[in-house]
A and B are shown apart, each in its own frame.
Chain A
Amino acid sequence: MKQHILPAIRLTLVLMILCVGIYSLLLSGFARLTPEKGSGEKITDGNGKSYYANIGQRFDTTIYFNSRPSAVAYNAAGSGGSNKGPNNPDYLKEVQQRVDDFKQKNPGASIPADIVTASGSGLDPDISVAAANAQVARIAAARKLSQQTVQQLVNKSIDRPFFGPQKINVLKLNIGLDQLSH
């Protein structure tokens, strides 16, 4: 056993230089070459304020497309889901409350599952196309725009990837909405 201790320590040290030092430096250097310099994608609104494009924000007023419920209140210094089981009676009561609220705010609209359930990260930047469509009438009324204009904006904002589900980035959609009203 003894003859293994010293090589183990020495090997650990050189491997740390390789796997932590050189590896991180290589990737940091590569990130420096990208336009965002490794700090994550940003988008800017009409007033020149910039936001993380992929960090979801809380939107719960009538004049914005609402984002999904969040178990961490969209505080991106942490992250997480509700971790509630599908049968948990307290949880189901909470969902029922969200369903009722959504119905009240958007009468007559169909209710997609994503808008009444919390995401895994609590920072989901997206909503489904159905969730955006269900809010079009409310937004149009609140902003005194025609439903057609708002619907066009929604249609324009749909992200249609080659693989995976269609989705809409709520922040981008709402920034577009603000620009529409100006």
Chain B
Amino acid sequence: MNTEILGIIVMFVLTLLLSLPLGRYIAKVYGNGRTFLDPVFNPLERLLFKCGGINPHKEQNWKQQLVALLVINLIWFFLGMFILLNQSWLPLNPDHNPNQTPDQAFNTTISFLVNCNLQHYSGETGVSYFSQLYLMFLQFVTAATGMAAAAAVFYAFRKGTHQTLGNFYNAFVKSITRILLPISIIIGMILILNHTPMTFEGKQQMITLQGDTTYVSTGPVAAFVPIKHLGTNGGGFFGANSAHPLENVNYITNMTQMIAQMLIPFAMVFAFGQFINRRKLGWAIWCVMTLGFLILCIPNIIMEMHGNPNITAMGVSPALGAMEGKEVRFGAPSSAYWSIATTVISTGSINSMHSSYMPLSGMNMLLAMMTNCFYGGCGVGILNYFIFIILAVFVSGLMVGRTPEFMGKKIEAREMKIAMIVALLHPLLILAGTALAAALPSQTASTLANPGFHGFSEMLYEYTSSAANNGSGFEGLGDNTPWWNISTGFVLILSRYLPIIGPVAIAGILGAKKYIPESAGTLKTDTATFGFMVFAVIVIVAALSFFPALTLGPIAEYFGMG
């Protein structure tokens, strides 16, 4: 058991150690500073901008940035729909997988477009290699979209008054060429050296030692998996995602994928501090996020190590922990660590089946997605946290009777309205969606895999995962029906774009305001007190709005245990 706990600690510490230099590097990339890789990337980017017909030095205000962002996303949507609806005759389909149905293609395209990757299909049978490669493309560009939106917010908080926030295309392309692509190549090489397949051949027949005939799906897995984690996308190449022994071969690949998914969310926080020249603020934000992460993660590790009491009662040794849905090569503790890492961040990849976790472990995963800002997704995590900072500044301002300020900018009614809309949208989508699904048993009852409270949790999890753009699931849910495909599709769209538009708009408005120099009366945002304040706001918003729903699901199930 000691090597297992040690493995977890090493994963976390390594992530932190790697994210610090990466954060400094990201700040330089967005600040157009010099890096040692310029001789490679400058000509490459010039070529890309030239082919794209884009002037990367043209300054854009927040509205122009958002229009550019939304237009290019719309193009990717149409392209995705076309490919998934026609994959049967498009190239690279050695297994002759059929076209997706329109509602499934809608859900698949949307969920990859919004960095969620809900996947109401299985990779082995639901998509061709051509479609997989397009989905891989979306994993690159959607991660870069989130990062470019975060970069726009970074720009707004440089000292002084700014009408513009840099150029969207510039930050977007540089996120790919300078950050996502090089790191993905390194990770891909590590995976290949650890026996992850990288081939375009179809299914292989295999006669087992016992004499059964089976078929083995492989594919270009080692290209797909790095960006799936680095971009916090989480869409699996195979149905079982990173529990599959070819997608996640051994403990080393498990650690690599774990570090890859937490790396950029960590680094973006430090990059923010570096960029606006307030490193202490970066650390303060990271500490609050880590506190939230540990509060959810440690109980899960302990609960899963204790095993399922119902099964222990049958005379089964609990020494290995709860093993239903978990792989022997990862073990219960590091699977539990992954279960929270992948839900606090918006990855949603899994190395064990979340539906089979203990009830309160399942609740912690739900809470991780309901708060959705402890680290959070690639770029968008810090945007979500930014909303809570604005709320906390406002509440603090009211408490001390001063005009709320953040980074020398007054926060007024218009920004508060936007922040409130974004903060309330999340619970609204989750709770209204779940309520609707529960009220329409004709659509949903037959899709549930478990009776009772756990069945309710399956529906709650599906909408929470959609609204958090997470993509994991209580996968027993038979979710490839028009109801689930379409209803979650709309939740996905709203919960991706409004939480990007909101923070960028706030940042744009604040950036254009007059800069008020810091004085003795300024609220310090890089202190432990303020950190606690933000944490309290997050807890109140998450706990108050979701507690009733959690009571009907995992909490009721917990008290119903034998």
Contact = CB atoms under 8 A, between A and B. Distances in A.
A48 interface: no
Interface string B347-372: 00011110111110000000000000
A112 B195 contact: no
A118 interface: yes
Contacts of A23: 181, 184-185, 223
B214 interface: yes
A8 B71 contact: yes
Contacts of A14: 47-48, 51-52
B412 interface: no
B329 A164 contact: yes
B137 interface: yes
A51 B71 contact: no
Contacts of A125: 245, 329
Interface residues of A, number: 97
Contacts of B125: 77-78
Interface string A51-70: 11111111111001000100
Nearest to A50: B206
B141 A76 contact: no
Interface string B529-562: 0000000000000000000000000000100111
Contact of A39 (B4, B218, B350, B474): B218
Contact of A114 (B124, B195, B323): B323
B3 A87 contact: no
Interface in A5-54: 5-16, 18-20, 23-24, 26-28, 30-31, 34, 36-41, 45, 49, 51-54
Contacts of B350: 120
Interface string A152-174: 00000000011111110001001
Interface in B178-194: 181, 184-185, 188-189, 192-193
Nearest to A92: B310
Given A77-B124, A84-B450, A87-B560, A111 B71 contact: no
A40 B326 contact: no
B482 interface: no
Contacts of B72: 4, 8, 11-12
B209 A113 contact: no
B560 A164 contact: no
B209 A120 contact: no
A112 B320 contact: yes
Given A82-B324, A112-B319, A11 B54 contact: yes
B7 interface: yes
B209 A171 contact: yes
Given A18-B48, A86-B308, A165-B331, A79 B240 contact: yes
A47 to B, nearest CB: 10
Nearest to B558: A87
Contact of B71 (A1, A24, A118): A1
Interface band, chain B = 35 or more
B206 to A, nearest CB: 6
B317 to A, nearest CB: 5
B198 A38 contact: yes
Contacts of A79: 122, 124, 217, 238-240, 243-244
Contact of B51 (A10, A24, A49, A126): A10
B199 A117 contact: no
B53 A10 contact: yes
B174 to A, nearest CB: 12
A117 B321 CA distance: 11
B327 interface: yes
A119 B240 CA distance: 10
Contacts of A41: 195, 249
B323 A58 contact: no
Given A11-B48, A11-B72, A86-B310, A130 B317 contact: yes
B338 to A, nearest CB: 11
Contact of A81 (B214, B325, B330): B325
Nearest to B196: A40
A76 B189 contact: no
A40 B218 contact: yes
A106 interface: no
B193 A164 contact: no
Closest 6 A/B residue pairs (Cβ): A83-B476, A120-B243, A163-B7, A164-B251, A85-B454, A11-B52
12 contacts: A11-B72, A15-B141, A34-B192, A53-B195, A55-B246, A59-B210, A77-B124, A81-B240, A112-B316, A114-B328, A164-B251, A166-B3
Interface of B: 3-4, 6-7, 10, 47-48, 51-54, 67-68, 71-72, 74-76, 79, 122, 124-125, 133-134, 136-137, 140-141, 169, 173, 176-177, 181, 184-185, 188-189, 192-193, 195-201, 203-204, 206-210, 212, 214-218, 220, 222-223, 238-240, 243-246, 249-252, 254-255, 307-308, 310-311, 314-331, 334, 350-353, 355-359, 449-452, 454, 457, 474-476, 557, 560-562
Given A7-B52, A52-B204, A164-B329, 12 more contacts: A24-B223, A28-B200, A38-B197, A59-B210, A78-B239, A79-B238, A80-B353, A83-B356, A84-B355, A84-B449, A85-B454, A118-B324
